[in-house]
Chain A
Amino acid sequence: MKKMRRVAIANRGEVAVRIIRACEELGLETVLLHSDADIKSRAYRLATRKMRIGPAATALSYLNIGANIEAALAAGADAIHPGFGFLSENADFAEQCEKHGLTFIGPSSDAIRTLGDKVSFKNLAKKAGLPLVPGYEGKDQSIAELLKQVEIIGLPVIVKAAAGGGGRGMKLIRNMVDAEALIESAQREALSAFGSAQIFLEKYLESAKHIEFQIFGDCTGHVEHLFDRECSVQRRHQKIIEEATSPSLSEDLRRKMGEVACAIAALGKYKNAGTVEFLLQDNQFYLLEVNTRLQVEHPVTEEVLNIDLVKMQILTAQGNFIFSPQDIRIPKGHSIECRVYAENPYQSGMPSTGKLGLVQWAEGPRRRFEYGFESDDIITSHYDPMIAKVIVWDENRSRAIDKMIRTLKDSVIFGVHTNIPYLIEILNHDEFRSGKMTTRFIETYFADGLQSKVSDEQTRKWAIEINKTLKSSSFHTFSGDMGSQTLSPPTHSPWSSHWRGI
């Protein structure tokens, strides 16, 4: 068993907190590798140690391999957990970690190269006769060649970042007129988000469901799947709501897809946590890609199986996790996750930044909140807009939906706009409730975000009334019987400066 004492975290936000918690339970110290922009964050406050890796720009900090390794070594870490996004699927990073004596908590750099690289993955799947979506993943990345391939595959075609995930750099081509601009835009986004402009093309399935299988390779290399998740609710190819297990799979389909997922993982000699993504249309399934890392939506799998995937990851990296034939895992009940994004749903999802005020999560049985920021923390424009995840479990899907709606309604976030009203509308939609939604659900029903039911003038009237009451009540609370409501509260009181937003 490998000795592990201190784990460096090459990530930020809620996932950094998630990893810190798992380390704490295993008695491990943590080192947060952070940029200048993330000092006011929960992970910074919770980590045992913190090391600065660079300025806010991701290329200089969270995507900077040298800076992360140097900082981890300087802090005396013996392992690195990369979380998801950033360097988590970067084979060079995994390799550099191992070279410098740091245990990379994830698959081997070889497995990342084989399965994480979408081109090599497709070749492997093709050879093994596993079902794939038609597409182009050639080396020739010139606009002329890509345009020719778009025509060969036939519209609609989706453009994806070869090194990517999470919807970044993805564009949908519906007309040849827009093709060039969309390909260029995808290349720019891919370069900025993943450090590589390489893209590939894929036939876009019009009414597919996004189904994925959690796979896990133990330290002996034995791969099992930990059942499925459905993530069909996506906007601009970014997942918004995920659930386990999928409401769309028959037991037969679940078994077949699970077998394919394990087969491809075993071919890549996979150890640690990973996800095999599929598209499902008309009961036909196609392998989409393998994410060689922990997934954002891992908690829904944890909830239905009562497991801790991050702990399993760390134990596997230590050489201390082996599947036993005695472990029979059967998913129980239903779990849903909603991603809370800092954006204004009434302005078609415009990013919202600012200082968080009151943050209140409506706690209750089987409600789980994964968040990276609290009151007084600042949400900047430098990083992903996902500021939290809300996860619920209940005995069946419809109860889980009701529980999620109630939980979101009772939670409060002030300081930035969030997509919570948008999430509630989606959860209440008949097609979502029926479980029949496809990846086109959002563009079909919620393309323009939400229309506010309340006019600006009405909001303003309420604001005036509430502001008046707020001022007078804070004055009375903190300065007793000293005077009338028209006087300003004394400025030396910390309360009054708080209320006045100074």
Chain B
Amino acid sequence: MKNTILVNIDGEEKNVTAEIIDKKIWFKLDGQIYSHDLTDLTAGSFKKTKSMSKSPDKILAPMPGKVTKVFISENQKVKKGEALLVMEAMKMEYTLKADISATVEKVFSRVNDQVTLGFLLIQLNEDK
């Protein structure tokens, strides 16, 4: 099979099914499927991916989809756990909440906006 190769994994030769799709490597090893960003592999040191570098003052889109409701406006105070915005993808709703008590600095999306994964939706300013 064109996608199956023999790879040395931790000192053992194993059959791995693998494919590169849009800068991501997908592989099946011991019955499990994994994927990993290829841009992350090129650097010698461990580079943090987008999702790991997110900080609680930046509300990023956790998935591609549509913004269906925005509860807050700029300069508004929000409490930890407060709902900020609702997104919809594949007909399911997801509510994004504040992980910190903060002031809304800027809102980058409006209702009905289609946003991509990792898009900065809201910038918060943490209360000191």
Partner of A460, one of B9, B18, B46, B63: B46
Q: Are A192 and B91 in contact (CB under 8 A)?
A: yes
Check A464 against B41 for contact (C-beta < 8 Å).
yes
Give the distance in Å from the alpha carbon of A193 to the alpha carbon of B68 in the complex.
13
Query: B41 contacts which of A460, A499, A501 (Cβ < 8 Å)?
Result: A460
B-chain residues with CB within 8 Å of residue A454 when the two chains form the complex: 32, 34
Nearest-neighbour CB distance to chain A for B21, whole angstroms, equals 4
Residues in B88-125 with C-beta less than 8 Å from chain A: 88-93, 95
Q: How far is the CA of A501 from the CA of B35 in the complex (A)?
A: 14
| Contact partners of A384 in chain B: CB under 8 A | 90-91
User: Quick one: which of A350, A417, A460, A467 contacts B62, CB cutoff 8 A?
Assistant: A350
Is the interface on chain A under 10, 10 to 19, 20 to 34, or 35 or more residues?
35 or more
Minimum CB–CB distance for B106 against chain A, Å = 24
Chain B residues within an 8 Å CB radius of A382 = 90
* B22 vs chain A, min Cβ distance (A): 5
Closest CB in chain B relative to A449 CB, distance in Å:
13
A454 to B10, CA, bound (A): 14
Q: Is B86 part of the binding interface, using a Cβ–Cβ cutoff of 8 Å? A: yes
- A168 closest partner in B (C-beta): B91
CB closest residue in chain B, given A356: B21
A350-B62, A501-B21, A501-B23 are contacts. A467–B33 as well, Cβ < 8 Å?
Answer: no
Q: In whole angstroms, how far apart are the Cα atoms of A469 and B92 in the complex?
A: 40
Query: Number of B residues whose C-beta is below 8 Å from A?
Result: 46
Given contacts A409-B31, A462-B29, contact A188 B23 (CB under 8 A): no
Interface pair B27/A385, CB less than 8 Å apart: no
Alpha-carbon gap, A236 to B46, bound state (A): 37
B19 CB within 8 Å of chain A? yes
Contacts of A412 in B (CB 8 A): 17, 28, 33
Within 8 A of A (CB), among B9-49: 9, 16-29, 31-36, 38, 40-41, 46
B90 touches A470 (CB 8 A): no
Bound CA span A350–B90, Å: 10
A351, B89: Cβ atoms closer than 8 Å = yes
| Cross-chain pairs A/B with CB under 8 angstroms, 9 sampled | A351-B90, A357-B19, A381-B63, A381-B64, A385-B92, A417-B35, A466-B18, A469-B8, A469-B16
Q: B residues bordering A, Cβ < 8 Å? A: 3, 5-9, 16-29, 31-36, 38, 40-41, 46, 62-66, 68-69, 83, 86, 88-93, 95
